[in-house]
A and B are shown apart, each in its own frame.
Chain A
Amino acid sequence: MRRKLRIGLVSPYGWDSPGGVQVHIRDLSKFLIANGHEVSVLAPVDDEDGIEEDFVVSAGKPVAIPYNGAVARVLFGPVAASRVRQWISQSDFDVLHIHEPAIPSLGLLACSIAEGPLVGTFHVAAQKFKVAFAIVPIVEPIVERLRARIAVSEVARETLKIHIETDAVVIPNGIGWDSFQGARPRLEWQLGKTIGFIGRFGEKRKGLSLLIDALPKIIESHPDLKVLIAGPGDPEEILKQVDPRLRTRLTFLGLLSEEEKRQFFKSIDLYVAPNIGGESFGIILAEAMATGVAILASDLSAFKYVLEDGKWGVHFEASNAEDLAVKASTLLSDPARLATLASMSSEGAKRFDWPVVAEKIMDVYDLVSGAGEKVVLASGNRSWNKLIRGRGE
């Protein structure tokens, strides 16, 4: 039996804007609460009335900051800093679990303000790190304060090693494995041979254009081929660049609900993840696996980790449309192989099931909080706090 802990979680990104990190924190919190722990999440929030979870505490409205090629909704500054201070000093946490402590947002703030049993999870994987020489000296001494560092994948761990010269344990992101079982296919998504794609297709790194480049060759051997594309974005932008003869092959489904996503995986013949880079984990692959579908993914290290180097699916050479076309045609011509892949992949996703993943995270919590020490404000900040309060009174 584990000790019941008071756990604080810090989200760097706006709670009400879509994103993998927020989903991870939400699911982890729910799991921890179900296991009898007390949880409080501090996050930037756009619309406080729209928040369903009662364990979320708002630190203020996030601002949009362009960061490494994407726009991040983050929060920092003196006002946010005093909220973080308040939250930490009032909550008496046994463990403070900070997400993305190296991104300039609440995570980095909390990491610099708190002292004691701190855990940090690094989600991002970036090969390029702009003006690292100027940023690393600020970030490094702060990240050092974490008692334990978690990376969500080998790629994220590598990023950490290269840029901040610190190591981490790898604990993958979690999925609710059970909820993906027993999904039923939808007839309208099963007409002819179907390839599925999910993701923000407007982003180049997601690789939809690579899949489209490979299409003519696949169609040669599979004339009834359809491609179902799900995810947020503007289909017009894609369609106007596509050969008119191919346009009828593409169906855009928009953003799917969780339920629809499962039906989607169950309906298609082959799930293709043509991503060309910048992937840290690939939670969508784990979800596809859990549902049970044949998977063809590029050989990015993040994907090789999820598919265990081709054990639970097939890899093709990343950014190589030719290889993608050959592998896809071969797979689609072999229904028996597709069926075997689909039936076994679910097994391979069990290692991402929340009970397994959260168990590992709770092990880390136990390790850092073993002595019963509490999370407190760092000494420098205590005096700062006094200064502010003194002035206020």
Chain B
Amino acid sequence: MEWVFALLFALVFLWYLTFTASRLDRLHHRVETSWASLDALLQRRAAIALEIAFIPSLDPAAAVVLTRSAYLAREAEMAERSEAEESLTNAIALIGESEDFHKEYPEISERLEVVTSKIRIAIDLHREAVATTKLQRSRPVVRFFRLAGRAPLPVVHPFEEVPL
């Protein structure tokens, strides 16, 4: 009689493992898609930053930081990318302090505003996806049976910690 229970238990456990594995797969997918949309928004911000950098009345120091960060934002290497995005965030905040900027370039300022608020949400989504995935991956069952497979551990990039 016991072997029936053992078999049943094994079956249930197997089902549980596959269930967890596919759940993890979904989570990884969520991390990837949330990063993809964040990435796209960041590229748009970089493009706007370049536009601002070409405004003739803008001071050259701001122009250098914006240009540099905008180009580095296309860099593939993540450590540098993150630095560039952080610079960009800080630089844009400094320029936004001036009321003249908003008055004189209402169109760019408006677009920047829109993209920034979208980035804010995208970062939240990405961070949330990463946090959930990491939490699930840290469970003993997942670690023991290597349910996450070869998927790299998702990370929150340092620039995402900087308030926009």
Contact = CB atoms under 8 A, between A and B. Distances in A.
Interface of A: 63-67, 74-81, 104-109, 111-113, 130-131, 134-135, 138-139, 142, 384, 388
B64 interface: yes
Nearest to B90: A63
A138 B64 contact: yes
A142 B59 CA distance: 11
5 contacts: A76-B65, A77-B61, A77-B98, A81-B59, A388-B100
B98 A139 contact: no
What band does the interface of chain B fall in when counting residues whose beta carbon is under 8 Å from A? Answer: 20 to 34
A104 B68 CA distance: 10
A65 B72 contact: no
Given A66-B86, A76-B94, A109 B72 contact: no
Contacts of B63: 104, 138
A77 B57 contact: no
Interface of B: 53, 57-65, 67-68, 70-72, 80, 83-84, 86-87, 90-91, 93-95, 97-98, 100-101
A76 B70 CA distance: 17
Given A77-B95, A78-B98, A131-B72, A104 B64 contact: yes
A388 B58 CA distance: 14
Contact of A104 (B62, B80, B84, B93): B62
Contacts of A106: 61
A113 B101 CA distance: 18
Per DSSP, chain B at the interface is helix
A24 B67 CA distance: 30
Contact of A109 (B61, B80, B93): B61
B73 to A, nearest CB: 10
B72 A130 contact: yes
Per DSSP, chain A at the interface is helix
B61 A134 contact: no
A384 B57 contact: yes
A225 B64 CA distance: 49
Nearest to B60: A112
Contacts of B91: 63, 65, 76-77
A67 B87 contact: yes
B97 to A, nearest CB: 5
Contact of A78 (B87, B90, B95): B95
B97 A76 contact: no
